[in-house]
Amino acid sequence: MTESRQRFYHLTTFGCQMNEHDSERIRGVLEEDGWMPAVEPDDADLLLFNTCSVRESAVSRLRGRLGEARRLKNEKPERLIGLAGCFAQNRKVEIFRDMPFLDLAFGPQNIADLPALLDSAESGSGQSGSFSDNDFLSAALPARRKIKYRAWVQAMTGCTNFCSYCVVPSVRGPERSRSARDIIEEVKRLVDDGVIEITILGQNVNSYGLDRDPGTADRVSFADLLMKLDAIEGLRRIRFMTSHPKDLGNDLVEAMRDLPKVCEHLHLPVQSGANRILDRMKRGYSREHYLELVENLYEQIPGVSLTTDIIVGFPGEKEEDFYRTMTLAAECQFDGAFTFMYSRRDGTAAADLPGRLPDATVKRRMHELVSLTQQIALVKNEAIIGEPVEVLIEGPSSRGDGLRGRTRQNKVVNYVAGASVKNKAEGCFTTVTIDSATSTTLKGRQACD
Ligand code: SAH
Ligand code: SF4
Ligand code: F3S
């Protein structure tokens, strides 16, 4: 390949918002190195996948896409195939042996090494990888954001909780917090660049700062970090995820209540409603503690929306345990729930637990839980009918007959814009009166500007 020819990459991202955010860095690093994005994989010289390992379903989807990538490489053998992210990191020992068609692979902490890996792959020196767990935070790298008015901001990396089912701590390393000063500077730069809404990312933002040296001047709690960010002029909305119930203090609830820019939405994964299962999951809290947190949230923050993650079919989950999850969901009145069937991950503590459940049982429970949580979400959304809500406009609605935006509570609103209304542009605020609701979206009319 000659140096002067323009080279194109195609990047596919699996997994959580951390990975989406890392993909912005991967694009930034590639584009600084002279690569251009290709619209279709067919047009790319480099097919890159930012992978997830959290459940087997993410890995199966990756395998499907890799089949297609191998076909494209057979058509044009100089095409490169690369894997980034958590699956690559998790399989670092055997990945090149198991996938001989791969040219390069690297972990979430090694995005900065991408140009060197590409040089080595292009010079024909064989498969090259980078998987060291260093202290480097990808936040320092250049990023290419797709949306001008909204941005993710990484407050911390890794996780030290070791929930018994989860691979994240072993692939992303221990929890490390960035300095508050760096985060604030990054947000100010983003705001100068047109950003009005940020989402602060961390696997467990409630323990932000605790890993930092108590002697450092800018070791602050997450609630204090929110207070500092709230003071940034020009910023309009602050979101964050994920919160862990074991570390959710009242200072954060008060910050959500009192700080005008912090949105009234909390994603608080419960995983199970049965203490027996929570213990086996090593979650570090009880059903009763979780219910107390929820009661306090509803009491202190009017109109707060609450979403959660739930795992069904954890090893040893009995019918009565599952029933306790159902009653907890009913008590908590979640605005939304991400429900997952337990997926056994090699190397996790739960992988060796007895009591694996038959697929049919897990599917039946999943089905019951999904119908309950959807029913609850619908009732909660219907309660907003008739109300005016503040919406940040995101673009045309998926049906194409109107516009789409999001409320402070993180609910998607599809609406018809009034003919005389000025505010129709992406990234602007408007007020919409809600006319109807489903379990996942609201529908309405633009009220005024
Ligand atoms: N740090 C976050 C999210 C981690 S992964 C947290 O602690 O909440 C997102 C969700 O995936 C988890 O909340 C959990 O519900 C689910 N998950 C993780 N490992 C899983 C597994 N092995 N099987 C099924 N679901 C899993
Ligand atoms: Fe995984 Fe638990 Fe860490 Fe979340 S808190 S990333 S579920 S180990
Ligand atoms: Fe995220 Fe999947 Fe990694 S959920 S942290 S991309 S294993």
pLDDT in tens, 323-343: 999 999 999 999 999 999 999
The Cα–Cα gap between 392 and 237 comes to 9
Q: How far is the CA of 167 from the centre of ligand 1 (A)?
A: 9
DSSP 240-254: EE---GGG--HHHHH
Contact 314 CB / ligand 1 (< 6 Å):
no
Q: How far is the CA of 165 from the centre of ligand 1 (A)?
A: 8
pLDDT for res 219: 85
| Ligand closest to CA 161 | 2
Question: Is the distance from CB of 167 to CB of 158 less than 8 angstroms?
Answer: no
Spell out, as residue ranges, where the chain has pLDDT lower than 50: 1-2
| Ligand closest to CA 284 | 2
pLDDT for res 45: 97
Residue nearest to atom 18 of ligand 1 (CA): 166
pLDDT for res 423: 63
- Residue 434 burial (CB < 10 Å; 0-12/13-18/19+)? buried
| Beta-bridge mates of residue 431 | 390, 448
Amino acid at 63: R
Question: Is the distance from CB of 96 to CB of 115 less than 8 angstroms?
Answer: no
pLDDT for res 401: 75
- Residue 293 burial (CB < 10 Å; 0-12/13-18/19+)? buried
pLDDT for res 1: 46
Element (H, E) at 359: helix 359-382
CA distances, 177 to each of 137, 172, 225, 380 (Å)? 9, 13, 12, 35
String of b and e for 9-47 (b: at least 16 CB within 10 Å)?
bbbbbbbbebbebbbbbbbbbbeeeebeebeebeebbbb
Amino acid at 304: V
Q: How far is the CA of 317 from the centre of ligand 2 (A)?
A: 19
| Beta-bridge mates of residue 9 | 37, 46
Q: For 224-269, how does the pLDDT look when each residue is reduced to its tens digit (9 = 90+)?
A: 999 999 999 999 999 999 999 999 999 999 999 999 999 999 999 9
pLDDT for res 206: 94
Contact 171 CB / ligand 1 (< 6 Å):
no
CA distances, 26 to each of 45, 82, 134 (Å)? 16, 12, 17
